[in-house]
Amino acid sequence: MKKFKDTFQDIVRYPSAVVGLLIVLALIVFSIYTMITIPYKEAIHLWKGTEAVVYKNPRNARPTWVNWFRKDKLPVSVDVYAGEDEDFTKEVTPRKKGGNQIEFNYEFDYNYNQLPQDIFIYFKSNYVDKNPFVVINMTTPAGEEIKIYDGGISRATNVRFGQEEKLLTRLVRLHGRDTETQDQLRSVIEGLFTKMGSYPPVVDKGTYTINVKATTFEEGSDVEAELVMHGTVFGLFGTDHMRRDLKVAIMWGAPIALAFGLTAALGTALISMFIAALGTWFGGWLDELIQRITEVNMVIPYLSILIMVGTFYSRSIWVLLLVTILLNIFSGAIKSRRAIFLQVRESTYIEAAKAYGASDYRIIIRYMIPRVIPMIIPGLVSAVPAYVFLEASLAILGLGDPTVPTWGKIINDARTNGALYQGMFYWILEPAVFLMITGLGFAMLGFALDRIFNPRLRGM
């Protein structure tokens, strides 16, 4: 305990160690928080990106906070439920012939210079035989009332404004562009949100109203509506090309990176230490064998073997973790550990242990290994970033676990979908910053520990 306290006091003396320790602790807390708020199964489900999961998310949206730094604000995504949210009102009046007349009204200000990606209304209704009928109208700030949709709806219907072909024809007529000198209207959204007849198109800023009149024909038949507008910013982390919320992968990246990095570093260090201890204690052919294996292992190209395993056998992150550990046990580290054990073996206390008749096993476990543990701790901590980045490297090579959301996967997705060329820097920078902080945290702590445990480096 006292030794532990001393070590802690030593750590406090190095500012970089304190920063490193804080980062590592913060990461651990963040990981635990992630695991509690988004259970693993749910994270994997969310990361599959099925329509039911991502329908509210725009594609390739930047995080919302980019608006804080912009003069020209980007349209924010909206998601409102009729009746539950104040702006989206729902009024039910019974009809004489049975059924209800339901009116929804949504009024919103649109003051951005850019167009939203899409607007849609998601209807849910209950009925026995006769399905409800809806009419959707939208009023622009200029007072123009445009019919968006009219028709029957089923139990679940999604009216996407952007995909209404008839509406597009109507809007083309309304805008009346001269197609010989001007571009034709590109989309419904452009038609709805720009000033009529303006060219080049200018966004019509002001208050828009969306009015929905639904008619039901049966007693107790009801319609619910959810209105979603896809802006070009979304959430705290933004979205990717499959409209998945990057939050899932950014958050889950932490526990996975920690699990991978710590397990690999710890596993490799402990097993190689144990093997080195066995080799030096028993000597002879065992020691010789260990050395030969190490030499062979140094010749095997480590990353390429991992790549082969990833391609031919399994992309599971845990299989790759196991192979990583196996390939790293007999590395150069085992040689330096062997050198340390050779010294330890000659110590007088080991001789004393032999004299009182301690078994080989007891000597190795109780006397030799504890002596070496402080020496391997700095290396162990410093090795964590290498493994964390290894996982990301495999993802970059396209060998990432397809189901598991990790930081490396985001970078790979971003890279292969041209984030760098198209200026979607948030997509790469977010996971990159997290990876970097993790790497630096462990590296700083490891470096400081090295100087604490290695007296020769102390003054340097």
Partner 1 sequence: MSIETNSQETSLEYAKRATRETAKRLARFFSIRLVLQIITIIIGVYITILVANMGGYVDTILKASILEEVNLEVSAMVTEKDIPREMREQMVRDLVAERETLAGLDQPFIQRSFRHLWNGLTLNFGRARFMVSDHGSRMVRNIILERLPATLLLMGTSQLLLFFVTLSIALAVSRHYGSLWDKLIVALSPTSSIPPWFYGIFLILVFAAWLKILPFSGMVDAPPPPTKWLYFLNVLKHLILPAGSLFVSSFFISTYSWRTFFLIYSSEDYVDMAKAKGLSDRAIERRYILRPTLPSIITSFALLMVGIWTGATLTETIFNWPGLGTTIYTAISKYDTAVIVGTTIIQAYLLGITVFFLDFLYAIVDPRVKLGGGK
Positions in the binding site for partner 1 (CB under 8 A): 16, 20, 292, 295-296, 298-305, 307-313, 382, 385-386, 389, 392-393, 396-399, 411, 415, 420-421, 423, 425, 428-429, 432, 435-436, 439-440, 442-444, 446-447, 456-457, 460
**How far apart are alpha carbons 205 and 360 in whole angstroms?**
83
**With respect to partner 1, which residue has the nearer C-beta, 278 or 411?**
411
Instruction: List Cα–Cα distances, 117 to 272, 281, 418, 425, in angstroms.
Output: 55, 69, 19, 19
Q: Using CB atoms within 10 A of its CB, is residue 220 exposed (0-12), middle (13-18) or buried (19+)?
A: exposed
The minimum distance between CB 435 and partner 1, in angstroms, equals: 7
Q: How far is the CB of 25 from partner 1 (least distance, A)?
A: 17
Give the residue with the Cβ less far from partner 1, 125 or 412: 412
Residue whose CB is less far from partner 1, 63 or 439: 439
CA distance 149 to 438: 51
How far is C-alpha 233 from the chain's CA centre? 17
Q: Which is nearer to partner 1, 236 or 298 (CB)?
A: 298
Supply the Cα-derived Rg of the chain in whole angstroms. Answer: 32
| Minimum CB distance to partner 1, residue 305 (Å) | 6
Question: Among residues 29 and 303, whose Cβ is nearest to partner 1?
Answer: 303
Give least dist CB 446 to partner 1, A: 8
To partner 1, the closest distance from the beta carbon of 192 in angstroms equals 33
Are 257 and 407 contacting, i.e. CB atoms less than 8 angstroms apart? yes
Residue 156 DSSP label: E
CB atoms within 10 A of CB 296: 10
Shortest distance, CB of residue 439 to partner 1, whole angstroms? 5
Please tell me what DSSP assigns to residue 130: S
Q: How far is the CB of 58 from partner 1 (least distance, A)?
A: 22
How far apart are alpha carbons 414 and 427 in whole angstroms? Answer: 6
Under a CB-based contact definition with an 8 Å cutoff, are residues 213 and 101 in contact? yes
Given the structure tokens 């208050």, which residue do they identify? 207
To the nearest whole angstrom, how small is the minimum distance from the Cβ of residue 220 to partner 1? 56
SS percent in the chain: helix, strand, coil, step 5 = 55, 15, 30
Q: How far is CA 353 from the centre of its chain?
A: 53
Q: Which is nearer to partner 1, 101 or 311 (CB)?
A: 311
- By beta-carbon proximity to partner 1, the closer residue of 49 and 310 is 310
Q: CB-wise, 246 or 368, nearer to partner 1? A: 246
The minimum distance between CB 325 and partner 1, in angstroms, equals 16
Shortest Å distance, C-beta 272 to partner 1: 18
List b or e across 39-75, with b for residues whose CB sees 16 or more CB atoms inside 10 angstroms: eeeebbbbbebeeebbebbbbbbbbbebbeeeeeebb
The least distance separating partner 1 from the CB of residue 317, rounded to whole angstroms, comes to 16
- Of 212 and 380, the one with the shorter C-beta distance to partner 1 is 380
Query: Which residue's entry shows tokens 């790549």?
Result: 307
When the beta carbons of 234 and 442 are compared against partner 1, the nearer one is 442
Residue nearer to partner 1 on the CB measure, 110 or 330: 330
* Tokens representing residue 216 in the block: 């039901």
Structure tokens at 112: 């951005």
Cβ neighbours around 347 below 10 Å, total:
13
**What whole-number distance in Å separates Cα of residue 105 and Cα of residue 125?**
17
Residue 8's contacts (CB-CB under 8 Å, 6 or more residues apart) are: none
